[in-house]
Every structure is written in structure tokens, then in C-alpha cells.
Amino acid sequence: MKCTCLTGFGNTGLPNCVSAFDVTKQLIFVPYFKEDGTINGIDLTGLEGLDQAFIDSKIKALLPDDRWYITPEIKNITDERAEDVTEEFEDTTSVFIQEGARTFTGIVVGAPPQFKAELDKIRCVKGGYYVVDKSGNLIGDNSREGFLDPIRIQDQSLSVGFIKGTDTTIQKVSISFTVSMTMDDANISMIESSKITGTLLGAMGLLSVYKESDSSISTAGFTVTLGANYGGVLSKTKAKGLELADFTAFNTTQSSAETLASVTETSDGVYAFVYDSAVTAADLITVSNRASGDLTKGYDIVPFTILTP
């Protein structure tokens, strides 16, 4: 905080019961700003707690800017401020200039290199994070009245590394970033776990789903294999259980929505699409996530294209 001429002493009493943060277990990365430019925080107005519907609406949000990107469990965490910046004088006294930067480091045990690729993307936007601690509390920044905002990450500070296993250690992905200097530790606050009725601690983020291959492309439909970018190159994790409602098709050539008549999962992760009406030869069809609602299956379909022969 900055001192002004009106700043007096702060009172030093403490209530009998003080809520304490527990050790960090998971982070929730959040785009710091929504599309409309406002901070992507939790509006506390009328909020009595976080139920499962609220948590799902965040973790499985259709719009990427609204989504909470919750990590698996993070271990070996350090979350500390560097030494204060001070100016020292010839008589060996010193004055406080500013706090040192807070840096977070931790590891996700057993995570593969592809997980690093997903986390690296967070560096591309102005990001923030919430903390889910061991007790299930959700910790954020309460500096804005009526909101629990994500704690702002210093732009471009996120660093993610893949650490290979050794004879005595398992592979892991390391995460480190610096907290923005605009954040004041005095504003860190939380929604206590007693107010969180949904499952937050232990929740999983979405899996990105990519088109691995396509076949049987005609003016009537096509078949694609969809998978997450995990597993061996010949045994990728398949995206199972998707249905018609999970997809939207757009005819890029004709600039119009393309209605799908059906989607059939012919085997794990292999989907046969049938158009409602035949498309025209050379039409380029783009397939992406559902048009509305949450991504309830836990998959975020990375848009893919089909070129009609």
C-alpha cells in the first residue's frame, strides 16, 4: 500500500476466530479480462455459495474467455515474495521503497510434455489465477468491492517446463510465474469451503480435442477420428461419448450454418457425420463446439475443417 498524508495507524486487534488459508493444491488459471474488458471475477452480489452448477458453468464454459482452467494437483509449491526493495544510506539506516515480487513455483507430478503445451498458451493472454487450497477454499483478490477477482499474473512471466524422469524420479511439469506488482497481499481473501457445495477440490479441467484423421468424405457426410493430444503417437487418447448436440458445423464456402442430421460414434472416438442436406463439391466445412450451453462432456473441440471432394 501507498502512504498518503491522511493515512493513520491501522488497528491491531484480531477477532477470536480468523480463517486461515491452507496449502495450495490446485490453481485455476483465468483470462483476467472478459471480452467486454471487465475483470473476469466472481460477482459476490447475492451469492450464497458455489454449487455444482456454478462450478460446472465456469470449468466447462463454452466461451474460452469465461472459462476456469483448473490444474491437476500441484506439489512442491513455493509462493513467496522476494526481499523488500529498500534504499540504504551511509549511516546504515534504510527506508522501505517497495515490496519484492511474489513468485509462485510448483510441479504437476507425472504430467506429459503435451500438458506443457496447453499451459504455455496461458502466457499469450493477460491472465490471473485463483487458488484452491487443501481445505477446498477458493482464494482470490478481494480488492474490488463486491467481487472476488483472480490474482493477476505479471504479463509474460509464466514459465512452464517439462522435466524428464530419472532413475530415481518421475517426469513432471514445472510451473512458475510472478504475481503482478499491482496485487496487494492485504487484499487476498477467499470463499470458504463451507460455502462451496459443489466439487472444486479435485475437479478436472477440459481436454482439448483435435481431429486426428478423416475419411469417407462426400457431399452427404464424413467420418473423423477425434482424440486428445495425449498418449503415444499411435495410441492417442480418444474423445469418447460425443453426440450431435456437442458439435456445430459451418459451411465456410457458403458462409452459412450447416445442419447436421446425425452423428454416430462408430467406435471409440470415431464419428460419422451426416448432413441434413447434401453440400456442394469443394465446400469447406468447419466443425467446432456446440453452439450454446456448457461443454458437459469435458471436451473442448478445437475447430477442424473438412474439404468436400
Chain contacts with other proteins (rule: CB under 8 A) = 220, 243-245, 259-266, 272, 274, 276, 290-293
Question: Looking at beta carbons only, is 62 or 302 nearer to other proteins?
Answer: 62
Question: Looking at beta carbons only, is 109 or 272 nearer to other proteins?
Answer: 272
Question: Looking at beta carbons only, is 12 or 292 nearer to other proteins?
Answer: 292
Min dist. Cβ of residue 195 to other proteins (A): 28
Min dist. Cβ of residue 271 to other proteins (A): 10
CB 135 within 8 A of CB 25: no
CB 188 within 8 A of CB 141: yes
CA 246/CA 111 separation, integer angstroms: 27
Q: 492417442: which residue's cell?
A: 236
Min dist. Cβ of residue 306 to other proteins (A): 17
CA 302/CA 284 separation, integer angstroms: 16
Min dist. Cβ of residue 278 to other proteins (A): 11
Min dist. Cβ of residue 51 to other proteins (A): 19
CB 49 within 8 A of CB 61: no
Question: Looking at beta carbons only, is 22 or 294 nearer to other proteins?
Answer: 294
Q: How many CB atoms lie within 10 A of CB 35?
A: 11
Provide the edge-to-edge strand list for the sheet that holds 172-178: 75-81, 102-109, 172-178, 159-163
User: What are the angstrom distances between the C-alpha of 213 and each of 6, 115, 225?
Assistant: 67, 22, 5
Min dist. Cβ of residue 158 to other proteins (A): 35
Question: Looking at beta carbons only, is 231 or 293 nearer to other proteins?
Answer: 293
Question: Looking at beta carbons only, is 69 or 222 nearer to other proteins?
Answer: 222
- Alpha-helix runs per DSSP H in 149-195: none
3-class secondary structure, 219: coil
